[in-house]
Structure 1
Amino acid sequence: MNPRFFCPEGLCPDSEMPLPAAVAHHAERVLRLAVGDQVVLFDGGGGECAAILLALGKQPVARLGPRLAVECESPLAITLVQALASGDKMDWIVQKAVELGAVAMQPVAAERSVLKLSGDRAAKRVAHWQQIAVSACEQSGRNRVPAVGDIVTLSRYLAQPVEGTRLILAPGAAGALARKAPPSGPLSILIGPEGGWSPAELALAEHAGCEPLALGPRVFRTETAGLAALAALQTLWGDFSGEA
């Protein structure tokens, strides 16, 4: 597969187009591509363009072909609502969630979250996660970049109107995933922090209409739970099922 690059300012199909500086730097300095090499460009609006590098250096240019209607999005629109996790766990979660087809990620501050972020630190971390989502799209072949939302408290998230079904992972909850009815619209899955959701948070979520869900008898780490849930949901109702 040819190297893929995200061009957020848009594409100019069937023409020569200056490359964004960040794309040109990554192509030339990191991947060691040269003039004449073939790449794929996408702008997040759907589809992609095959392109040939015409010039690099200070004035990078590529010749783009037609926009191709290439998509690899799941028919199941899943938002991963992830409680803040410490260290580089959030980086891992965002990257793998994109690969597994999540359409959006919403980080939330939970009572037992070890990681505490606010102000400029929070904004910088969200921007970092958004770039991880971009890189994961480039690697995985996706042409639509999932948005990473600003960090909000769980209570604020639950107070917002949300379309579709909301599930909250809670060890010991009754009811197997396979026995749930397929969602008729978007689906959100809420994942707790290292210490799990507090009883008050679970009660608040249920009051807001979230359905408790357990994935088998074992307790997952926070960085495992959401990814296991995404894979299970895609297998049941998404593009892992073979019925998409």
Structure 2
Amino acid sequence: GDVVTLDREESHHMGTVLRGGRWPQVVLTDGRGHRFAARVTDRSRREVRLEILTRERGDEEFRNPRLVLGLALIKPRRFEWALEKAVELGAHRIVPLISEHTDRTASRGKDRRWRTIMVAAIKQCGRCLLPELDEPMPVRDFLARRPAGVTVFGAIPEEITTGPRPVSLLELPALLPADPVPENLTALIGPQGGWSAAEVGAFLDAGLQPISLGPHILRTETAAAAVLGGLQLVRGRCLGL
């Protein structure tokens, strides 16, 4: 089969993992939806070479609905934790959101670090598709060009005085069209302190569905993980998995 050479960083990582052991068969991904079974043929401190044995496409990653997470910017460490878990929980696209209660400096100079975290996460969880990562954008801009499909937003019931009542994730499947399957399932999670009244009003005016995650007030990163875990199950039901 074809022979590939890992870059220096990946070679160093694999060399550390294989130190003192055999040269096994490994699984690689290109981050674009393909998995490769490969055999290590040669290694050094700076370079690892592998022979590609088989290739397969992760078709499950490309079927609708896709999972989109709009996540308000929060303290860097907490945002990075949420980013890692979003990748592990199957998000296809992640959009950092600038809300009225967001620290606008929270994303400064973070793009490279965020992508490094995401690459590490797909390797950890065995995914073959690296999610899209948008540039941070104001909530109003995201609303103006939000993805087609169904969009929900995390809300505390007391925030919703008009419009549809917040539903639980268990109730969400009943609100989805059966045919055709939605192109995207999008969830918006607010910052510490919650959405502003104006933002909640804009969501409701745009026809977004509020969701409740139970009786307790969750941190932003906890809410993001909880919602994506639920949406992953909803997606599985849509796909008949």
TM-score for the superposition, normalised by structure 1: 0.82
From the superposition, tell whether residues 113 and 32 of structure 1 become closer, same or farther in structure 2 (CA, over 3 Å).
farther
SS of corresponding position for 2:110: helix
Q: 1:143 maps to which residue?
A: 128
Which runs of structure 2 are paired with 1:229-240 in the superposition (5 Å)?
229-235=227-233, 237-239=234-236
SS of corresponding position for 2:236: coil
Asked if the contact 1:49/1:66 (under 8 Å) is kept, the reply is yes
Is 1:213 the counterpart of 2:202? The answer is: no
- Aligned-pair distance for 1:242? 9.6
Identity within the alignment, %: 31
Aligned match of 2:140 in 155, 158, 163? Answer: 155
SS of corresponding position for 1:238: helix
Is 1:42 the counterpart of 2:36? The answer is: no
Task: For 2:20 and 2:124, locate their aligned partners in 1 and report how far apart those are by CA, in whole Å.
Answer: 16
Q: 2:15 maps to which residue?
A: 28
Task: For 2:145 and 2:82, locate their aligned partners in 1 and report how far apart those are by CA, in whole Å.
Answer: 23
Asked if the contact 2:167/2:210 (under 8 Å) is kept, the reply is no
Q: Which amino acid aligns with 2:27?
A: V
Q: 1:53 maps to which residue?
A: 40
Which runs of structure 2 are paired with 1:157-172 in the superposition (5 Å)?
157-172=142-157
Asked if the contact 2:11/2:47 (under 8 Å) is kept, the reply is no
Which runs of structure 2 are paired with 1:28-107 in the superposition (5 Å)?
28-29=15-16, 32=19, 36-57=23-44, 58-70=46-58, 73=61, 76-107=65-96
Provide structure 1 residue ranges, at least 5 long, that are not aligned to the other structure. Answer: 1-13
Asked if the contact 2:150/2:176 (under 8 Å) is kept, the reply is no
Task: For 1:23 and 1:56, locate their aligned partners in 2 and report how far apart those are by CA, in whole Å.
Answer: 12
Asked if the contact 1:234/1:241 (under 8 Å) is kept, the reply is no
Provide structure 2 residue ranges, at least 5 long, that are not aligned to the other structure. Answer: none
Task: For 2:47 and 2:166, locate their aligned partners in 1 and report how far apart those are by CA, in whole Å.
Answer: 59
Asked if the contact 2:153/2:188 (under 8 Å) is kept, the reply is yes
Q: 1:196 maps to which residue?
A: 194
Asked if the contact 2:7/2:47 (under 8 Å) is kept, the reply is no
From the superposition, tell whether residues 22 and 33 of structure 1 become closer, same or farther in structure 2 (CA, over 3 Å).
farther
Output the aligned Cα RMSD: 2.4
Query: Aligned residues, how many?
Result: 226
Is 1:17 the counterpart of 2:9? The answer is: no
Task: For 2:55 and 2:97, locate their aligned partners in 1 and report how far apart those are by CA, in whole Å.
Answer: 37
Task: For 1:32 and 1:85, locate their aligned partners in 2 and report how far apart those are by CA, in whole Å.
Answer: 39
Task: For 1:61 and 1:25, locate their aligned partners in 2 and report how far apart those are by CA, in whole Å.
Answer: 12
Task: For 1:161 and 1:194, locate their aligned partners in 2 and report how far apart those are by CA, in whole Å.
Answer: 22
- Aligned-pair distance for 1:46? 2.1
Asked if the contact 1:85/1:115 (under 8 Å) is kept, the reply is no
The C-alpha deviation readout for 1:17-71, integer Å capped at 9, x for no partner, is: 2222221121114663767232211112323111122222344311111203456
Aligned match of 1:116 in 57, 82, 105? Answer: 105
Task: For 1:221 and 1:31, locate their aligned partners in 2 and report how far apart those are by CA, in whole Å.
Answer: 39
Q: Which amino acid aligns with 1:182?
A: L
